[in-house]
Amino acid sequence: MSLVIVGIGVILLLVLMIPCKLNGFISLILVSLVVGVLEGMPLGNVTKSMYKGIGGQLNSLILILAFGAMLGKLMSDCGAGQRIATTLINKFGMKRVQWAMLVTSIIVGITMFFEAAFILLIPIIYSIVKETKLPLIYVGFPAVVALSVTHSFLPPHPGPTLVASAFKASVGGTLLLGLILAIPGAIIAGILFSKTSIVKNAKTHIPEGLTTSKLFTDEEMPSFGKSLFTAIVPVILIAISEFSGMFLPKGSSLLKYIKFFGDAPIALMITVIIAMFTFGFGCNRSLDDITKSMSESVKAIAMIILIIGAGGAFKQVLVDSGVGNTIVSITKGLNFSPIVLAWFIAAILRTALGSATVAVTAAAGLVMPLAASSGVNTSLMVLAVTTGSIFASHVNDPGFWMYKEYFGLSVADAIKTRTSYTCILSVIGLIGVLILNIFVH
């Protein structure tokens, strides 16, 4: 009966979000209340469980989201993303412009949310198309694929980070394993798939007056070295922290300091401080201007934070009502890979809900008992969920409409290209996690 109630809750979530078009935050809170009551929890305990879940979910995660948003905004407002793109295109040459856009988007996408990075890169894509007369889909498709990969596979993006927090997995370990999956996934879907008739035959055009994003002059932008270094500082700090544990003894004082500075919130905070100089004062921006950018960035992710918090409430209600124990007892008897099951749950929710953030949040609550009892590396279980959450982007996904409108695509061509590449990425992610599970324990 317990799982039937969870099923009712998931169906209710679908109804609230799809036909009723209710906000994801409100939907998750309402469903958490309904599931808690139906599971027989005392009313007072339902709300206590929800408060505990919200606090536990946001915990250090709120720092990661806030600092990540600040870094992305500082990068965008000084032209650093444009500098990285134009420099790589010049280095790669126009014949390899797709590779240039792929690499640019991975670098930019590591620290920026999909929507923010998309808006940053789209005027650059437009300018390349106008200058080279190459098809818009040829230039822009690898960039969008790469942004989707970083958004779903890599912390500090909300999905991977919140699932890592829920599963008590290492954010750094998830980032490094995610990179192993992200790079081949981006190449297969972004470069190889773009050569197929599905993508090549899609009719695109640059919509008139759709974007007003600023294109910076060469004098206004920071140097390539400064832009690239600042963008990858958090990756460097986290990687050093992860690898140092392999070579230094556990009780080492040096290791404690390295782990402190390589902790994701601290690494991002350090990077934001560096960015205030490299992307702020170093670009002749005033302190007021820098502070304004940082404040605006946090406003932009307010709803994401609320949805993640509400997802934590839903997760905690599932745990405290005993649903987790039921799931564990049932799945113990199944000869079914927990990785495949985690991926499948996330993929179904993503297809139905549209929002990857809501899907990955709901899936985390359902899959968490499996992650704890499966014996699979927790970072791999995180990636099983997050790669599932990228599956089948279509008309109920806001990112789908952003992609369609900025590329001037018909709905049919948007489905053929966007829905196809998200399915390909998701399946590549699943296969990659299953392969890594052979070697990583």
Residues above pLDDT 70, as percent of the chain: 93
> Mean pLDDT, to the nearest integer, of 48-65?
84
| pLDDT tens for each residue of 385-429 | 999 999 998 876 778 887 888 898 988 899 999 999 999 999 999
Q: What is the pLDDT of residue 317?
A: 86
pLDDT on residue 162: 85
Confidence grade of residue 329 (pLDDT, cut at 50, 70, 90): low
* pLDDT value at residue 334: 63
* Token pair listed for 420: 């196809």
Closest CA to 297 of 112, 109, 50, 27: 112
Q: Give the mean pLDDT of the chain.
A: 86
Percent of the chain whose pLDDT exceeds 90: 33
Average pLDDT for 112-118: 75
From CA 154, how far away is CA 261, in angstroms rounded?
Answer: 19
Q: What is the tens place of the pLDDT at every residue in 231-286?
A: 888 878 887 887 787 678 888 889 999 989 988 889 889 999 999 999 999 999 99
For residue 156, is the peptide bond before it cis, meaning its omega torsion is within 30 degrees of 0? yes
pLDDT tens per residue, range 150-167? 988 988 787 888 899 889
pLDDT digits (tens, 9 = 90+) for 84-96: 878 878 888 878 9
8 Å CB contact between 224 and 85: no
Q: Which of 366, 362, 360 is nearest to 386 (CA)?
A: 360
Q: Which two tokens stand for residue 24?
A: 């994801």
Distances (CA, A) of 365 to 14, 33, 237, 414: 16, 15, 30, 31
| Structure tokens that stand for 314 in this block | 């839903």
Q: Model's pTM, two decimal places? A: 0.73
> What pLDDT shows up at residue 310?
86
Q: Please give the average per-residue pLDDT across 195-199, as a whole number.
A: 95
pLDDT confidence of residue 333: 60
pLDDT bracket for residue 189 (50, 70, 90): very high
Q: What is the mean pLDDT of residues 178-183?
A: 94
User: Is the pLDDT score of 112 beyond 80?
Assistant: no
Q: Looking at 52-56, 118-122, 191-195, 237-241, which range is the least confident one?
A: 118-122
Q: What is the mean pLDDT of residues 182-195?
A: 96
pLDDT level of residue 211 (50, 70, 90 thresholds): very low
Tokens of 186: 């981006």
Residues 6+ apart with CB under 8 A from 421: 141, 145, 148, 189, 190, 193
pLDDT at residue number 182 = 94
- Stretch 18-40: mean pLDDT: 88
